[in-house]
Amino acid sequence: MYKLFSPITFKQVTLKNRIVMSPMCMYSCESENGTVQPFHITHYESRAAGQVGLVMVEATAVQPEGRISTRDLGIWSDDHIQGLKQISDRVHAHGAKSSIQLAHAGRKAELETIHAPSSIRFNENYQTPKEMTVEDIEETIISFKRGAQRAKEAGFDIIEIHGAHGYLINQFLSPLTNHRNDQYGGSKENRYRLLSEIIDRVKEEWDGPIFVRISTNEYNAEGNSLDDITYFAKRMKEQGIDLIDCSSGGVVPATISAYPGYQVPAAEKIKQKVTIATGAVGLITSGIQAEEIIQNNRADLIFVARALLRNPYWSKAAADELGYSLDAPKQYIRGWKN
Ligand code: FNR
Protein backbone atom coordinates (compact mmCIF):
# COMPACT_ATOMS: atom_id res chain seq x y z
CA MET A 1 0.00 0.00 0.00
CA TYR A 2 1.35 3.35 -0.95
CA LYS A 3 1.35 5.63 2.08
CA LEU A 4 0.31 8.61 -0.05
CA PHE A 5 -3.00 6.83 -0.52
CA SER A 6 -3.42 5.66 3.06
CA PRO A 7 -5.98 7.34 5.33
CA ILE A 8 -5.09 9.55 8.26
CA THR A 9 -7.25 10.73 11.14
CA PHE A 10 -7.17 14.08 12.95
CA LYS A 11 -9.55 14.04 15.93
CA GLN A 12 -12.81 12.66 14.47
CA VAL A 13 -11.95 13.50 10.83
CA THR A 14 -10.48 10.83 8.55
CA LEU A 15 -8.95 11.86 5.25
CA LYS A 16 -8.97 9.13 2.60
CA ASN A 17 -5.46 10.02 1.44
CA ARG A 18 -2.61 12.42 2.19
CA ILE A 19 -3.16 14.84 -0.69
CA VAL A 20 -4.40 18.33 0.20
CA MET A 21 -5.45 21.04 -2.18
CA SER A 22 -3.31 23.85 -0.80
CA PRO A 23 -5.14 27.14 -0.11
CA MET A 24 -5.01 29.48 -3.10
CA CYS A 25 -6.64 32.91 -3.32
CA MET A 26 -8.71 33.17 -6.47
CA TYR A 27 -9.65 36.87 -6.13
CA SER A 28 -12.95 36.00 -7.76
CA CYS A 29 -15.64 37.65 -5.70
CA GLU A 30 -17.80 39.66 -8.07
CA SER A 31 -18.61 42.54 -5.78
CA GLU A 32 -16.84 43.69 -2.68
CA ASN A 33 -18.92 41.61 -0.28
CA GLY A 34 -16.75 38.48 -0.10
CA THR A 35 -19.47 36.00 -1.06
CA VAL A 36 -18.94 32.72 -2.88
CA GLN A 37 -19.50 32.76 -6.65
CA PRO A 38 -20.33 29.83 -8.97
CA PHE A 39 -16.66 29.83 -10.02
CA HIS A 40 -15.55 28.97 -6.48
CA ILE A 41 -17.91 26.02 -6.28
CA THR A 42 -16.75 24.60 -9.63
CA HIS A 43 -13.11 25.23 -8.77
CA TYR A 44 -13.16 23.43 -5.40
CA GLU A 45 -15.59 20.68 -6.44
CA SER A 46 -13.45 19.74 -9.42
CA ARG A 47 -10.42 19.07 -7.19
CA ALA A 48 -12.61 16.95 -4.89
CA ALA A 49 -13.81 14.99 -7.93
CA GLY A 50 -10.12 14.69 -8.81
CA GLN A 51 -9.65 12.76 -5.53
CA VAL A 52 -7.68 14.93 -3.19
CA GLY A 53 -8.26 13.85 0.42
CA LEU A 54 -8.76 17.40 1.68
CA VAL A 55 -9.83 20.53 -0.14
CA MET A 56 -8.70 23.70 1.56
CA VAL A 57 -10.57 26.86 0.64
CA GLU A 58 -8.33 29.87 0.04
CA ALA A 59 -7.37 32.54 2.59
CA THR A 60 -10.76 33.84 3.72
CA ALA A 61 -10.92 37.15 5.56
CA VAL A 62 -12.23 37.22 9.11
CA GLN A 63 -12.62 41.02 8.89
CA PRO A 64 -13.24 43.20 5.79
CA GLU A 65 -10.06 45.16 6.59
CA GLY A 66 -8.18 41.85 6.71
CA ARG A 67 -8.65 41.18 2.99
CA ILE A 68 -5.70 41.18 0.63
CA SER A 69 -7.97 42.62 -2.07
CA THR A 70 -11.64 43.55 -2.37
CA ARG A 71 -12.19 40.36 -4.37
CA ASP A 72 -11.20 38.03 -1.49
CA LEU A 73 -13.62 35.57 0.03
CA GLY A 74 -14.96 36.61 3.43
CA ILE A 75 -16.24 34.96 6.58
CA TRP A 76 -16.83 38.12 8.59
CA SER A 77 -20.62 38.01 8.20
CA ASP A 78 -23.37 35.42 8.57
CA ASP A 79 -24.25 36.25 4.95
CA HIS A 80 -21.17 34.29 3.91
CA ILE A 81 -22.26 30.99 5.46
CA GLN A 82 -24.64 29.82 2.75
CA GLY A 83 -22.14 30.09 -0.12
CA LEU A 84 -19.36 28.48 1.89
CA LYS A 85 -21.73 25.65 2.82
CA GLN A 86 -22.32 25.01 -0.88
CA ILE A 87 -18.58 24.54 -1.38
CA SER A 88 -18.29 22.24 1.61
CA ASP A 89 -21.33 20.16 0.54
CA ARG A 90 -20.05 19.75 -3.03
CA VAL A 91 -16.61 18.73 -1.75
CA HIS A 92 -18.20 16.14 0.56
CA ALA A 93 -20.22 14.72 -2.36
CA HIS A 94 -16.94 13.34 -3.76
CA GLY A 95 -15.68 11.78 -0.54
CA ALA A 96 -13.18 14.52 0.22
CA LYS A 97 -13.10 16.47 3.48
CA SER A 98 -13.39 20.24 3.49
CA SER A 99 -11.37 22.89 5.23
CA ILE A 100 -11.03 26.65 5.15
CA GLN A 101 -8.09 28.94 5.82
CA LEU A 102 -9.01 31.79 8.18
CA ALA A 103 -6.94 34.84 7.39
CA HIS A 104 -6.15 38.47 8.10
CA ALA A 105 -3.72 40.28 5.81
CA GLY A 106 -2.60 43.00 8.24
CA ARG A 107 -0.10 45.30 6.54
CA LYS A 108 -0.27 43.30 3.30
CA ALA A 109 -3.88 44.31 2.67
CA GLU A 110 -4.16 46.31 -0.54
CA LEU A 111 -6.82 48.58 0.92
CA GLU A 112 -7.05 52.20 2.08
CA THR A 113 -6.75 51.78 5.84
CA ILE A 114 -4.63 48.93 7.04
CA HIS A 115 -3.52 47.61 10.42
CA ALA A 116 -0.41 45.86 11.73
CA PRO A 117 1.49 45.25 14.97
CA SER A 118 3.79 48.16 14.13
CA SER A 119 3.58 51.06 11.73
CA ILE A 120 6.10 49.72 9.20
CA ARG A 121 5.12 49.25 5.56
CA PHE A 122 6.03 46.13 3.55
CA ASN A 123 7.58 48.19 0.74
CA GLU A 124 6.87 51.35 -1.24
CA ASN A 125 3.97 49.70 -3.06
CA TYR A 126 2.04 49.25 0.19
CA GLN A 127 0.32 51.68 2.56
CA THR A 128 1.91 52.39 5.92
CA PRO A 129 -0.24 50.51 8.43
CA LYS A 130 -1.77 51.93 11.57
CA GLU A 131 -0.30 50.34 14.71
CA MET A 132 -3.01 48.22 16.32
CA THR A 133 -4.26 49.14 19.76
CA VAL A 134 -4.99 46.40 22.28
CA GLU A 135 -8.69 46.96 21.48
CA ASP A 136 -7.99 46.40 17.76
CA ILE A 137 -6.14 43.20 18.69
CA GLU A 138 -9.02 41.97 20.84
CA GLU A 139 -11.51 42.69 18.03
CA THR A 140 -9.35 40.71 15.62
CA ILE A 141 -9.13 37.74 17.98
CA ILE A 142 -12.92 37.74 18.30
CA SER A 143 -13.22 37.88 14.49
CA PHE A 144 -11.21 34.65 14.23
CA LYS A 145 -13.51 33.08 16.81
CA ARG A 146 -16.61 34.21 14.88
CA GLY A 147 -15.01 32.94 11.67
CA ALA A 148 -14.59 29.52 13.28
CA GLN A 149 -18.22 29.54 14.39
CA ARG A 150 -19.35 30.32 10.81
CA ALA A 151 -16.99 27.70 9.37
CA LYS A 152 -18.69 25.17 11.62
CA GLU A 153 -22.14 26.27 10.44
CA ALA A 154 -20.94 25.95 6.86
CA GLY A 155 -20.03 22.31 7.54
CA PHE A 156 -16.25 22.43 7.21
CA ASP A 157 -14.29 19.55 8.77
CA ILE A 158 -11.00 21.32 9.46
CA ILE A 159 -9.90 24.91 10.05
CA GLU A 160 -6.49 26.26 9.13
CA ILE A 161 -5.30 29.47 10.75
CA HIS A 162 -3.11 31.45 8.35
CA GLY A 163 0.00 32.30 10.32
CA ALA A 164 2.38 32.44 7.33
CA HIS A 165 3.50 34.55 4.36
CA GLY A 166 3.86 37.79 6.26
CA TYR A 167 0.16 38.28 6.94
CA LEU A 168 -1.12 39.62 10.24
CA ILE A 169 -0.34 36.69 12.56
CA ASN A 170 3.09 36.28 10.97
CA GLN A 171 3.66 40.02 11.43
CA PHE A 172 3.18 39.55 15.16
CA LEU A 173 5.43 36.46 15.28
CA SER A 174 8.36 38.09 13.49
CA PRO A 175 10.79 40.51 15.14
CA LEU A 176 11.20 42.11 11.69
CA THR A 177 7.63 43.41 11.67
CA ASN A 178 6.72 43.48 15.36
CA HIS A 179 8.44 46.34 17.22
CA ARG A 180 5.86 46.62 20.00
CA ASN A 181 6.84 47.03 23.62
CA ASP A 182 3.57 45.87 25.17
CA GLN A 183 2.52 42.28 25.97
CA TYR A 184 2.21 41.52 22.21
CA GLY A 185 5.81 42.35 21.31
CA GLY A 186 9.40 41.86 22.38
CA SER A 187 10.07 38.34 23.64
CA LYS A 188 9.20 35.24 21.65
CA GLU A 189 6.38 34.42 24.05
CA ASN A 190 4.98 37.95 23.66
CA ARG A 191 5.18 37.76 19.87
CA TYR A 192 3.37 34.41 20.07
CA ARG A 193 0.58 35.87 22.25
CA LEU A 194 -1.73 36.93 19.40
CA LEU A 195 -1.66 33.45 17.83
CA SER A 196 -2.01 31.85 21.25
CA GLU A 197 -5.12 33.89 22.05
CA ILE A 198 -6.61 33.28 18.60
CA ILE A 199 -6.17 29.51 19.09
CA ASP A 200 -7.79 29.65 22.54
CA ARG A 201 -10.77 31.68 21.32
CA VAL A 202 -11.24 29.58 18.17
CA LYS A 203 -11.31 26.47 20.37
CA GLU A 204 -14.27 27.92 22.29
CA GLU A 205 -16.32 27.47 19.10
CA TRP A 206 -14.55 24.65 17.35
CA ASP A 207 -13.72 21.19 18.67
CA GLY A 208 -12.55 19.77 15.32
CA PRO A 209 -9.02 19.61 13.95
CA ILE A 210 -7.08 22.88 13.65
CA PHE A 211 -4.06 23.33 11.41
CA VAL A 212 -1.77 26.36 11.41
CA ARG A 213 0.27 27.45 8.38
CA ILE A 214 3.55 29.11 9.29
CA SER A 215 6.54 30.54 7.47
CA THR A 216 9.45 28.37 8.60
CA ASN A 217 12.03 30.64 7.01
CA GLU A 218 11.94 34.44 6.85
CA TYR A 219 14.99 34.62 4.55
CA ASN A 220 16.49 37.34 6.73
CA ALA A 221 19.24 36.97 9.34
CA GLU A 222 17.34 39.20 11.80
CA GLY A 223 14.10 37.25 11.43
CA ASN A 224 12.86 34.14 13.21
CA SER A 225 15.20 31.16 12.82
CA LEU A 226 13.96 27.61 12.36
CA ASP A 227 14.68 27.12 16.09
CA ASP A 228 12.38 30.04 16.91
CA ILE A 229 9.72 28.54 14.67
CA THR A 230 10.20 25.18 16.38
CA TYR A 231 9.55 26.94 19.70
CA PHE A 232 6.27 28.31 18.30
CA ALA A 233 5.38 24.83 17.02
CA LYS A 234 5.93 23.39 20.54
CA ARG A 235 3.60 26.02 21.95
CA MET A 236 1.01 25.18 19.30
CA LYS A 237 1.27 21.51 20.19
CA GLU A 238 0.65 22.37 23.85
CA GLN A 239 -2.45 24.25 22.74
CA GLY A 240 -3.77 21.20 20.91
CA ILE A 241 -3.03 22.16 17.29
CA ASP A 242 -3.30 19.09 15.08
CA LEU A 243 -0.88 19.90 12.26
CA ILE A 244 1.70 22.51 11.32
CA ASP A 245 1.57 23.36 7.62
CA CYS A 246 5.16 24.32 6.82
CA SER A 247 5.55 27.04 4.23
CA SER A 248 8.04 29.94 4.13
CA GLY A 249 8.67 33.55 3.18
CA GLY A 250 6.54 36.63 2.64
CA VAL A 251 7.48 38.42 5.85
CA VAL A 252 9.79 40.99 4.28
CA PRO A 253 10.89 41.41 0.67
CA ALA A 254 13.49 38.68 -0.01
CA THR A 255 14.87 36.55 -2.78
CA ILE A 256 13.88 32.92 -2.38
CA SER A 257 15.56 30.13 -4.21
CA ALA A 258 12.80 27.60 -4.67
CA TYR A 259 13.58 24.10 -5.90
CA PRO A 260 11.63 20.82 -5.75
CA GLY A 261 10.62 20.12 -2.16
CA TYR A 262 12.55 23.14 -0.81
CA GLN A 263 10.34 23.49 2.29
CA VAL A 264 10.26 19.78 3.14
CA PRO A 265 13.33 19.83 5.47
CA ALA A 266 11.52 22.31 7.74
CA ALA A 267 8.41 20.09 7.88
CA GLU A 268 10.67 17.16 8.70
CA LYS A 269 12.58 18.98 11.43
CA ILE A 270 9.44 20.28 13.14
CA LYS A 271 7.82 16.84 12.93
CA GLN A 272 10.84 15.18 14.54
CA LYS A 273 11.66 17.84 17.16
CA VAL A 274 8.12 18.63 18.30
CA THR A 275 6.46 15.28 17.60
CA ILE A 276 3.54 16.88 15.82
CA ALA A 277 2.00 16.14 12.44
CA THR A 278 3.27 18.40 9.67
CA GLY A 279 2.27 19.29 6.15
CA ALA A 280 4.84 19.65 3.37
CA VAL A 281 4.25 22.16 0.58
CA GLY A 282 6.15 23.80 -2.24
CA LEU A 283 7.11 22.42 -5.63
CA ILE A 284 5.89 18.93 -4.88
CA THR A 285 4.77 17.92 -8.31
CA SER A 286 5.06 14.15 -8.73
CA GLY A 287 3.62 11.07 -7.08
CA ILE A 288 7.05 9.56 -6.44
CA GLN A 289 8.26 12.76 -4.75
CA ALA A 290 5.13 12.92 -2.58
CA GLU A 291 5.32 9.22 -1.67
CA GLU A 292 8.97 9.55 -0.61
CA ILE A 293 8.09 12.35 1.82
CA ILE A 294 5.26 10.40 3.46
CA GLN A 295 7.02 7.02 3.34
CA ASN A 296 10.13 8.42 5.06
CA ASN A 297 8.05 10.10 7.75
CA ARG A 298 9.17 13.58 6.75
CA ALA A 299 5.60 14.94 6.80
CA ASP A 300 2.05 13.61 7.20
CA LEU A 301 0.24 15.52 4.47
CA ILE A 302 1.27 16.80 1.06
CA PHE A 303 -0.15 20.19 0.12
CA VAL A 304 -0.28 20.68 -3.64
CA ALA A 305 -1.03 24.09 -5.13
CA ARG A 306 -0.01 24.99 -8.69
CA ALA A 307 0.15 21.38 -9.91
CA LEU A 308 -3.54 21.09 -8.97
CA LEU A 309 -4.34 24.27 -10.90
CA ARG A 310 -2.72 22.69 -13.93
CA ASN A 311 -4.42 19.34 -13.40
CA PRO A 312 -7.48 18.88 -11.14
CA TYR A 313 -6.85 15.12 -11.48
CA TRP A 314 -3.33 15.36 -10.10
CA SER A 315 -4.12 12.62 -7.52
CA LYS A 316 -5.00 10.21 -10.31
CA ALA A 317 -1.83 11.14 -12.20
CA ALA A 318 0.23 10.56 -9.02
CA ALA A 319 -1.44 7.17 -8.52
CA ASP A 320 -0.77 6.17 -12.14
CA GLU A 321 2.85 7.15 -11.73
CA LEU A 322 3.16 4.93 -8.64
CA GLY A 323 1.28 2.06 -10.27
CA TYR A 324 -1.49 2.40 -7.69
CA SER A 325 -4.98 1.72 -8.88
CA LEU A 326 -7.18 4.67 -7.92
CA ASP A 327 -10.66 3.64 -9.04
CA ALA A 328 -12.33 6.97 -8.67
CA PRO A 329 -14.43 8.88 -9.24
CA LYS A 330 -16.74 5.91 -9.63
CA GLN A 331 -18.52 7.50 -12.59
CA TYR A 332 -15.31 7.20 -14.61
CA ILE A 333 -15.03 3.44 -14.15
CA ARG A 334 -16.33 1.62 -17.18
CA GLY A 335 -19.72 0.11 -16.45
CA TRP A 336 -19.91 1.49 -12.90
CA LYS A 337 -23.72 1.57 -12.94
CA ASN A 338 -23.69 -2.22 -12.81
C1 FNR B 1 -1.08 30.62 -3.22
N2 FNR B 1 -0.62 30.31 -1.93
C3 FNR B 1 -1.42 30.61 -0.84
N4 FNR B 1 -1.04 30.20 0.40
C5 FNR B 1 -1.86 30.36 1.46
O6 FNR B 1 -1.49 29.97 2.56
N7 FNR B 1 -3.08 30.95 1.29
C8 FNR B 1 -3.52 31.42 0.09
O9 FNR B 1 -4.65 31.88 -0.04
C10 FNR B 1 -2.64 31.29 -1.02
N11 FNR B 1 -2.97 31.79 -2.25
C12 FNR B 1 -2.26 31.38 -3.37
C13 FNR B 1 -2.75 31.65 -4.65
C14 FNR B 1 -2.10 31.15 -5.78
C15 FNR B 1 -2.68 31.40 -7.15
C16 FNR B 1 -0.92 30.38 -5.62
C17 FNR B 1 -0.20 29.81 -6.82
C18 FNR B 1 -0.41 30.17 -4.36
C19 FNR B 1 0.55 29.46 -1.76
C20 FNR B 1 0.22 27.99 -2.01
O21 FNR B 1 -0.74 27.49 -1.10
C22 FNR B 1 1.49 27.13 -1.92
O23 FNR B 1 1.99 27.21 -0.62
C24 FNR B 1 2.56 27.55 -2.93
O25 FNR B 1 2.00 27.82 -4.19
C26 FNR B 1 3.64 26.49 -3.07
O27 FNR B 1 3.08 25.26 -3.49
P28 FNR B 1 3.16 24.74 -5.03
O29 FNR B 1 2.40 25.71 -5.89
O30 FNR B 1 4.62 24.72 -5.41
O31 FNR B 1 2.53 23.38 -4.98
pLDDT of residue 76: 98
Question: What are the CA-CA distances from residue 245 to residues 78, 211, 216, 270 (Å)?
Answer: 28, 7, 9, 10
pLDDT of residue 331: 87
Q: ipTM score of the complex?
A: 0.99
Region 80-92 average pLDDT: 98
pLDDT per residue over 174-200, tens digit each?
Answer: 999 999 999 999 999 999 999 999 999
Pocket lined around ligand 1, Cβ cut-off 6 Å: 22-25, 58-59, 101, 162, 164-165, 213, 247, 281-284, 304-307
Region 218-222 average pLDDT: 98
Give the closest residue to 139 by CA, choosing from 191, 188, 201: 201
3-state secondary structure 257-280: CCCCCCCHHHHHHHHHHHCCEEEE
Region 252-261 average pLDDT: 96
Q: Give the β-pairing of 210-215 and 243-247.
A: parallel
pLDDT per residue over 262-320, tens digit each?
Answer: 999 999 999 999 999 999 999 999 999 999 999 999 999 999 999 999 999 999 999 99
pLDDT at 147 over 90: yes
Q: Give the β-pairing of 8-10 and 13-15.
A: antiparallel
Q: Find the 303 Cα to ligand 1 centroid distance in Å.
A: 9
Does the predicted TM-score (pTM) go above 0.95? yes
Q: In terms of pLDDT, which residue wins out, 33 or 332?
A: 33
Q: Give the β-pairing of 13-15 and 19-21.
A: unpaired
pLDDT of residue 90: 98
pLDDT per residue over 58-68, tens digit each?
Answer: 999 999 999 99
Question: Rounded to the nearest 5°, which phi and psi values hold at 66?
Answer: -95, 10
Per-residue pLDDT band at 80 (split at 50, 70, 90): very high
pLDDT at 338 over 70: no
Most ligand 1 atoms within 8 A of CB, residue of 19, 20, 21, 24 to mutate: 24
Distance CA 272, CA 262 (A): 17
Region 165-172 average pLDDT: 98
Q: Find the 232 Cα to ligand 1 centroid distance in Å.
A: 22
